[in-house]
Structure 1
Amino acid sequence: MYKGQTLDWLKLDNAGKIFAATSGKRNTSVFRFSCELFEPVEADTLQKALNLTIEEFPHFLSVLRSGLFWYYLESSPLRPTVHKENRGICSPIYNRNMHGLLFDVSFYENRMNLEVYHALSDGTGVLHFLKTLICYYFSLLHPELDNEIFYVKPYNASFSGRTEDSFRKYYGVEKRTRSLKHLKAYRIKGEKTYSGNYQMIEGIMSCQAVLTLAKKYDATLTVFLAALLIKAIHKERHRSKEDKPIVLTVPVDLRKYFPSDTARNFFGNIRVTYNVSKDGDQIEDLIRMTKMGFAEELTEKKLNQRLSRLMAYENHKALRLIPLFMKGWILRIARKLSDLEETTVYSNVGNVRLPEPLKPYVRRINVFVSTGGLQLCTCSYRDSLSTTFSSVFLDTNIQKNFYRSLTEMGVEVEIRSNVEY
């Protein structure tokens, strides 16, 4: 327990600075984890569990403030209140005119939701929070299971480890290199939803069924689904655009490559490029080339180089002296230019593990994200694989193509959506 330990203020980490400067009405930089139970959520118990959980994550009790040169997190006396779900998925949390907490906990029937502003934490950090919340909830609801649930705590990092800025800690491990050559990617276009509204489509399927298919092609689940996503996008583009490569941006948890237990942001992006006109459009070609792309990008050396480049920009002497309002303008321009180099984003959160005694109570865990275009997220719990599309485009043919590929291969898919047809 970390009761009584607080933080007066924290500098934002490298990723947090970008989200704080570039989020807006179109892309709120909010993501949501939901945990579906086999029984209705008890609001009072969830509130008690949240009160216990927040003691272990002190930097979550912060508001975002702007200084002369950078945004920063300031400790706040505000405390989170659990409430019934009453707004759209990934709606704005951060309001520049109101200093509120940067996360929200809600529930609806048998589902509890945790939404977080990305400047505060990344997927892995928020999963630590969510798993702790779930464990406290069921230990309160079923006291006889308390010792079994917490026999091995879901997150054992120290106070300093949870709040560490791992970007800054590991900066300089690799000598900085020149930026990679800029590549103009194929861009998805179309009529968009109203600002701040997202088309959310979730496909639920057997994780083992998809793993079996992936193994058939000697691929990981991530590579296999990435290849299907490329195929789904290619099917919708005009022939005149086939010379432009489809580029997937894939967030990578850097904790797998650096010894970090931080509950703040610590991830990097790799980009996997596929040129259908050169590499072919058969599923075997797609999987083979996608697999090669991941292998080339997911090396410790390249991740070191990317981390060094990110921190080198932040630490540049001239940039450090530029006032915040000018930095924000520069970062927004830089992000727009960066977006021109990607077609879509695919994020695999991976397999979420909870203590064995919770098996009869937790049915499924899923994740949704805000986006300025189209993004796919995948997340599994036991044999339930959740694949969620977030999109600002009214057209849903890419999503249909993706799920049609799976069903044609024999995978049963349950579709849930907020899209009205």
Structure 2
Amino acid sequence: MYKGQTVEWLRLDNAGKIFPSTSGKRNTSVFRFSCELYENVEPEKLQKALEITTEEFPHFLSVLRSGVFWHYLEISSLVPKVHIEDREICSPIFSRYNRGLLFDVSYYGNRINLEVYHVLADGTGTLHFLKALIYNYIILIHNKLKENPALKPPYTAPYSSRMEDGFRKYYRKEIRKRSLKPQKAYKIKGNKTIPGTYVCIEGVMDCTQVIQLAKQYGASLTIFLTALLVKSIHKERQRSKEDQDIVVTVPVDLRKYFPSDTVRNFFGNIRVSHNFEKNGGEITDIIKSIKNGFKEELTEDKLSKRLSRLMYFERHKAIRMIPLFFKNWILKSIRRVSDSEETTVISNVGKVELPDVLKPYVKLINVFVGTSGIQLCACTYENYLSVTFSSVFLETDIQRNFYRSLTEQGLEVEIRSNLVE
């Protein structure tokens, strides 16, 4: 156990509470970070590195339990075992009938995969774990690195800070205002995969070239990728639904606005949209809408109000006393309503930084996310930008449109996928 740890159980953070009630074979609420090395993985050393890493992040050894009113995490004595990759990307980890660990580490060739059930952590928290795992593995393989004075652990926050519940820390009471009824979003339709499986496609490209292209439109990387995604969806949409907004949900790392070292969930969602009938169909029109949406939603005041609104329901006395069985039904209903108000999701986890002495051993880092529809994730390491799609739809026209919109502007994109002819 980590020095300073005293608890044997943890209440779920606000974001984590919804996943046990709403995840299943169709939407697994699992995300995968993969690290590609320049050398093939040595399983015995990876196992040792994993054991060291879980000592530093003990809450990853939790299992999920059901209480009278809420689910909670219980620290277990289970020992995680690395294994050769033998399952579909982002396939289910949590099972109500098998109280196992909520993360999985596998390997294949030169690739290390870390899959995590969203109850444990968000993308930033999982990246802290992954970087520690990479650090511990590489210095086990290349022992002489320990003698390098520039070698420092990638994450050194104390246990209390790692376990902090950011939602509770920054919650403040405020007068709740009735929100306007949102316009129903355009929904993507298609033939679906077998539950528990996703069509996963990755495009790897030069990050500097993409950023330069985005700057030509006066946009950030995230805004540019969001606009391309919206345009790619529009090319395949039913023209009879031209009046409906294409609405994109964007997860936001709240640590950038409310200082926290937590490795648990601490994110919020914003939504941006574009209406082709009202606002035009050129890429410049879409970027303008998306940029305005980001500017309006990405403020500390807006995010603070959204955080407090989420915490209000958790802390409401009457809601707290509802038994878990009924809460599960309520949360499922809330999730269905929320899903009906979005077209797709885009998540940019940003640039992954590793200690300089480790960089010669790491080639690429990417991320995929389980979803109920289609989701884009972006991840940058060194000068590689990985843009991935996970989708429950067999059709890949939207993904093709997206990557083609980049190659038509002169970018080279290496495409990889789990599709088999």
Contact 2:4-2:159 at 8 Å conserved across structures: no
| Cα drift, residue 139 of structure 1 | 1.1
Distance 1:128 1:180 in 2: 38
Q: How does 1:118-157 map to 2 (within 5 A)?
A: 118-148=118-148, 151-157=151-157
2:25 counterpart of 1:25? yes
2:299 and 2:176 mapped to 1: Cα distance?
15
1:7, distance to aligned residue in structure 2 (A): 2.8
> Counterparts of 2:180 and 2:186 in 1: how far apart (Å)?
18
Equivalent in the alignment of 1:365: 365
Distance 1:116 1:135, change over 3 A: same
Gaps of 5+ in 1: none
Residue 279 of structure 1 is matched in structure 2 by 279
Counterpart for residue 389 of structure 1: 389
Aligned equivalents of 2:266, 2:54: Cα separation in 1:
20
Aligned to 1:330: 330
Q: Distance in 2 between matches of 1:192 and 1:79?
A: 36
Deviations 1:220-257 (A, max 9, x none): 10000000000000010121111000000000000001
Partner of 2:90: 90
Q: 2:210 maps to what in 1?
A: 210
Which residue pairs with 1:107 in the alignment?
Answer: 107
Aligned to 1:50: 50
> In 2, Cα distance between the equivalents of 1:173 and 1:109?
51
SS of structure 2 residue aligned to 1:14: coil
Q: Which residue of 2 aligns with 1:184?
A: 184
**Structure 1 position 79, deviation (Å):** 1.2
| TM-score of the aligned structures, taking structure 1 as reference length | 0.98
CA contact (8 A) 1:247 1:343 kept: yes
Gaps of 5+ in 2: none
Is contact 1:378-1:387 (8 Å) kept?
A: yes
- Report how far residue 373 of structure 1 moved: 0.4
Tell me the SS of whatever aligns to 2:107.
Answer: strand
Deviation, structure 1 residue 152: 3.5
How far does residue 146 in structure 1 lie from its aligned partner after superposition? Answer: 2.2
SS at match of 1:359: helix
Specify the code of the residue in structure 2 equivalent to 1:285: D
Distance 1:173 1:365, change over 3 A: farther
1:378 maps to a residue whose letter is A
Superposed CA RMSD: 1.4
Counterpart check, 1:309 vs 2:330: no
**Structure 2: distance between partners of 1:318 and 1:184:** 30
- C-alpha contact (below 8 Å) 2:3/2:159 kept by paired residues: no
- The code of the aligned residue for 1:39 comes to E
Amino acid across the alignment from 2:121: S
Amino acid at match of 1:397: D
Match of residue 289 from structure 1: 289
For residue 211 of structure 1, what is the amino acid of its counterpart? I
Distance (Å, rounded) in 1 between the aligned partners of 2:270 and 2:130: 26
| Distance of 1:143 and 1:6 partners within structure 2 | 32
Tell me the equivalent position of 2:250.
250
Shift of 1:368: 0.5
Corresponding residue for residue 39 of structure 2: 39
Deviates more, 1:190-199 or 1:63-72: 190-199
Q: Partners of 1:399 and 1:149 in 2: how far apart?
A: 45
Contact persistence 1:223–1:291 (CA under 8 A): yes
User: d(CA) in 2 for partners of 1:7 and 1:148?
Assistant: 36
Tell me the residue number matched to 2:166: 166
Residue equivalent to 2:380: 380
| 2:150–2:357 CA contact under 8 A, matched in 1 | no
Asked whether the 8 Å contact 1:227–1:287 carries over to 2, the reply is yes
**1:318 Cα deviation (Å)?**
1.4
**TM-score under structure 2 normalisation?**
0.98
- Of the structure 1 ranges 37-46 and 152-161, higher mean CA displacement relative to structure 2 is found in 152-161
In the alignment, is residue 75 of structure 1 matched against residue 75 of structure 2? yes
- Could you tell me how far 1:175 is from its partner in structure 2? 5.0
Structure 1 CA distance for aligned equivalents of residues 149 and 388 of structure 2 = 29
CA distance in 2, matches of 1:352, 1:167: 24
How far, CA to CA, are the matches of 1:375 and 1:365 in structure 2?
18
Percent of aligned positions with the same letter in both sequences? Answer: 67
Whole-Å separation in 2 of the counterparts to 1:10 and 1:166: 14
User: CA shift at 1:153, angstroms?
Assistant: 2.6
Tell me the amino acid that sits aligned with residue 404 of structure 2: R
The residue identity in structure 1 corresponding to 2:347 is: S
How far does residue 54 in structure 1 lie from its aligned partner after superposition? 0.6
Letter in 2 for 1:335: R
1:399 is aligned to 399
Aligned residues: 421
